[in-house]
Amino acid sequence: MNIKKILTWAGIALVLFFLISDPGGASGVVQGILGSLRTAAEAVITFMQNLFR
């Protein structure tokens, strides 16, 4: 078994442990990530709109 596969399964196990042990914290992390992505997308849209005016 190669190291990449071991690390992948360890990462999956860690995420599952985090979700099971602290679902509220996990949802906060996901909401934070999605909020950051939304802010970044809005910034790109605003930049493009201002670029082509």
Q: Which two tokens stand for residue 45?
A: 């849209």
User: CA 53 to CA 41: how far, in whole Å?
Assistant: 19
Give the pLDDT confidence score for residue 53 in this predicted structure. 84
pTM over 0.85: no
| Domain extent listing, the chain | 25-53
Residue 15's nearest CA partner among 1, 29, 34 is: 29
Question: What is the DSSP-derived secondary structure letter of residue 53?
Answer: -
Give the pLDDT confidence score for residue 12 in this predicted structure. 94
pLDDT, tens digit only, all 53 positions of the chain: 699 999 999 999 998 998 899 999 889 999 999 999 999 999 999 999 999 88
Give the pLDDT confidence score for residue 1 in this predicted structure. 67
Measured in degrees and rounded to the nearest 5, phi and psi for residue 22 equal -145, 75
